[in-house]
Amino acid sequence: MSYSTLGDFYKFGLTEAVCAGLDSSVVSGSGEAAKDLIDGYFRAAGIDLPLPSASVTSQIKRIECHIRAYDIMCATGYEPGTDPDTIFSMRYVAAIRWLEQVAAGKIYPIPVDSSGEPIDADTSSSDSGAIVASETARGWGS
């Protein structure tokens, strides 16, 4: 299963109008292929897979969508390095550079707490609003 949804892909990759004439299996298959590429870099960085869904940040989804868009454009006849579509090449190269930094341990794409444990980003059940932490008690409200 891909990190990004079809909605994410239409937002970060190619628009729905651009994909309208494509076979749906091309669009859906691109997600799995991009995820496999990303996971290879994550494994090189020592990141445990599969990622918990709460650890999949919008940055990971965006990177996957850029790779998906590049793959689809290449499959449909896009030639990297020719204008006016250099944006797809630039996004792909940026995505690969980001993944290389992940693999080298320079970027950690999963939010973690101070102990290095993944943070559960699902705050939908929270009813307390913002969380404020302080090193020492300040005595406010007591």
42-51 per-position pLDDT tens digit: 888 888 888 8
3-state helix, strand, coil in the chain (%, to 5): 50, 0, 50
Report pLDDT digits (tens) over 63-95.
999 999 988 987 777 666 666 567 777 888 889
Cα separation, 78 vs 57, whole angstroms = 29
Closest Cα to residue 66, out of 90, 86, 100, 32? 90
The pLDDT assigned to 107 comes to 77
- What's the whole-number mean pLDDT along residues 22-40? 90
Token reading at 77: 């006849």
Q: Which residues of 72-86 are buried (b: 16+ CB within 10 A; e: fewer)?
A: bbeeeeeeeeeeeee
Report pLDDT digits (tens) over 104-127.
888 777 665 666 666 654 444 444
Contact call for residues 13 and 68 (beta carbons, < 8 A): yes
Closest Cα to residue 93, out of 126, 122, 119, 70? 70
- Model-level pTM greater than 0.75? no
Cα separation, 13 vs 129, whole angstroms = 33
pLDDT at 98 over 80: yes
Q: What are the boundaries of each domain within the chain?
A: 1-142
Cα separation, 138 vs 80, whole angstroms = 58
More confident residue, 138 or 10: 10
Token reading at 81: 């390095």
